[in-house]
Amino acid sequence: MNWSQASMTWKKRLRLNWKGGMSLVLATSFALLTACGTQAPAESSTTAAASGTEAQAKDPVEIEFWYGLGGNLGDNMKKTIDAFNASQNEVVVKGIVQADYTETEQKLQAAIASKKVPAAVLSSNIDWARKGYYAPMDEMIAADPNFKKDDFIQTFLNQGQVDGKQYFLPMYGTTQIMYYRMDTFKENGIDPATLTTWENLAEAAAKISKQENGKTTFYGWEPMWGRDNMIDAVLGKGGQILSDDGKTVMIDSRNGSRHGTCSVNGLTKTRLWAFIMEVRAGSTGTKRLMM
């Protein structure tokens, strides 16, 4: 059985039965690759006669699934793969683990260049979908009578659409949360119900923060690493990153915002807040505020 035949077989049999198992980790995405590796050499007539069509049909199709997850997410992914493999005998999913998302993309880029790619990968690269590196999943979805879009969080599902086609299915979602130390709040006379604006949050963080010999020893605010939190601060002040026509950079503008407020206000606030907050990354980066 060559790869082209195998590909059609596992796509037909696997369909989208993963979704039930993925409910435990609901948004980086699951993508099928357009190029499914190099085609295996054609079988000789003698080999084909010996193996037979029936014997081929009984052999499980093995596919590789690449993902860059560790910790609990990695453990849950392995359990999901094992559970799926144990649930049937037609498709064997071989999980190939990378250190993180970046390594997955690097290895995938090399694999695409060499035309030896995995069948599936944990990814959310929309640009690659537009370039044709990934295959749309609409035909598989339409062919699976058990697929129900309502099984997914619609926001995550919609994020997997590119130019009207479903290239990704949600695997898990990241939701930032805020938590705080009650004893610290009590000690500083802060009512958590008052933290309804960026300004109130900054004031509370400044009150909680502690410095010794010019060095911050206790940060009042520990947001998650990434540009999104900084963008939130700007947009929260009515600012814009780009003008409505997309031609003018507005992030440092003191006027011209469609809301009549200053983009630079949010940016300036963020710079000032740098002295009372510590940015966290990775697994420690859940939005830890008021620690």
Point out which residues pair with 101 in neighbouring strands: none
Predicted local distance difference test score (pLDDT) of residue 56: 56
The model carries a pTM of: 0.59
252/260 Cα distance (integer angstroms): 14
Tell me, what DSSP letter sits at residue 129?
H
What tens digit of pLDDT does each residue of 19-50 get? 433 322 223 445 556 544 444 344 444 444 55
What tens digit of pLDDT does each residue of 155-202 get? 889 989 999 999 999 888 777 778 889 999 999 999 999 988 877 888
156/173 Cα distance (integer angstroms): 7
Q: Mean pLDDT for the chain?
A: 74
Which of 22-31, 86-95, 119-128, 228-237 is predicted with the least confidence, judged by mean pLDDT?
22-31
Q: What's the mean pLDDT in 5-10?
A: 42
- The token pair that represents 228 in the structure block: 């999104």
Q: Are 232 and 270 in contact (CB under 8 A)?
A: no
- The token pair that represents 97 in the structure block: 């683990």
pLDDT band with cut points at 50, 70 and 90 for residue 119: very high
Q: Is 63 left (phi over 0), alpha (psi -120 to 50) or beta?
A: beta
What lies within 8 Å, CB to CB, of 107 at 6+ separation is 66, 98
Q: Which residue type occupies 11?
A: K
Is pLDDT at 8 greater than 50 in this prediction? no
How do 120-123 and 134-135 pair as beta strands? unpaired
Closest to 60 in 3D by CA, of 42, 30, 87: 87
Identify the residue whose tokens are 């939005």: 287
Q: Report CA-CA distances (Å) from 152 to 32, 103, 122, 156.
A: 18, 27, 17, 7
25/76 Cα distance (integer angstroms): 8
267/270 Cα distance (integer angstroms): 5
